[in-house]
Amino acid sequence: MRILVLNSGSSSVKYALFEFKNKKSKKICNGIVDEIGSNKSNIIFNSKNKKIAKKAKIGSHEEAIKKAFELIVKFAPGKIDAVGHRVVHGGELKKSKIVEKSEEKIIEKYEEFAPLHNPYNLLGIKICKKLVDVPQIAVFDTAFHSTLPPKAFFYAIPYEQYSKFGIRRYGFHGTSHKYVSKKAAEILQRPLSKLNLITLHLGNGASVTAVKNGKSIDTSMGFSPLEGLIMGTRSGDLDPAVVLYLIEREKMSVEEVNRYLNEKSGLFGVSGISNDMRKILSAKKTNKRAELAFEMFCYRAKKYIGAYYAALGRVDAIVFTAGIGENAPEVREKICGGLGNLGIELDKKKNKKIKEGVISRRSSKVKILVIKTDEEKEIAEETYSIMKNGGNGE
């Protein structure tokens, strides 16, 4: 079975084609068409035998997706059995879904909550429907967190806001947290259904999830991807009174505060240098604000480990993933430092050397793992599982 994975975003379309044989998958090719709407869009295609990187005018998402199909037909020919789509917000949907009219309505309904993602995700689905007559399956970033209990997903504001508008914690990065949880079970050679994990997705966006017996029971991103950890340009947790104060004293509009907290804060806002952890790490020896940003980033993550340790009661492993989690030993060392009393003992040598696997000491009660996330593969696996189960996922 051949499954195409599509991530249709606001200005780019990423794609990857997987072939499944007896549940085992192999990536055949992948690529991206970005800067949609410009005269110099990048068109990238990669397979074992063919690499393309060129620039051309791509005026719309439809043109971008047609271009991706054209390259696949030419350089990786064969039938496509289904398309799996990344969809950021699926509200309270618990599983991936074949997209019919009613699912389109749900994705549309949550456009208000994910205006930079859902409209483009849905556009990708609609375009693919026109191009290939095969099941189109939506895999939601929120679905893995649909197992959060009410005590974790309610906000302590008047209850009616939940019934009226659906204001609650939804959580994001679910596809990544799920993928690394499955992978952790493989590495530890234990069933996921018996594992308690704290998974830290530390990229430009960052979130942490408490996984109990393989299911998400709490997560740091909330109603939107702004809550929780400090991120590249997002503030993460903040006293809501700060927002009110900014509106009052800086005379900011709602739109301005939104941009301030999403695009001008986080590592970038504190350091004044960059949202990129690599730049923060190299600047921090001589730059006090870069050092402060680094310290704050790691301290916030450490606090969440403490909180989720308490929520879980027992932790089998802590998992680091995404750009920073996978590539910055210094950040992992800082976050895990001083947690020996909780049974969390990092092996400093392994931490520097190992690219994927266990980086804790043998004596560490809680294993520490680095795992490369692969959201495309997880979307392909979800899609495969839906196809195999006649429209129902796991």
| Enzyme catalytic residues | 141
Q: What's the distance, Cα to Cα, between the start and end of the chain in Å?
A: 18
Comparing CB distances to ligand AMP, the nearer of 81 and 326 is 326
> How many alpha carbons fall within 13 Å on the CB side of residue 275?
17
Residue number of the CB closest to ligand AMP reads: 323
- If residue 302 lies in a helix (H) or strand (E), which one and from where to where? helix 288-312
Q: How far apart are CB 327 and ligand AMP at their closest, in Å? A: 3
Q: Where are the beta strands (DSSP E) in 189-324?
A: 197-202, 206-212, 215-219, 317-321
Q: How far apart are CB 280 and ligand AMP at their closest, in Å? A: 8
Enumerate binding residues for ligand AMP (CB under 6 A). 203-204, 232, 276-278, 281, 322-324, 327-328
Q: How far apart are CB 274 and ligand AMP at their closest, in Å? A: 8
The alpha carbon of 8 is separated from its chain's Cα centroid by a whole number of angstroms, namely 14
Comparing CB distances to ligand AMP, the nearer of 35 and 62 is 35
Tell me the C-alpha distance between 233 and 263, whole Å. Answer: 5
Comparing CB distances to ligand AMP, the nearer of 106 and 322 is 322
Using DSSP's 3-state secondary structure scheme, residue 221 falls into coil
Phi, psi of 393 (to 5 degrees): -80, -170
Q: How far apart are CB 329 and ligand AMP at their closest, in Å? A: 8
With CA atoms as reference, report the closest residue to 105 among 97, 160, 66. Answer: 97
Comparing CB distances to ligand AMP, the nearer of 271 and 383 is 271
Tell me the C-alpha distance between 382 and 394, whole Å. Answer: 8
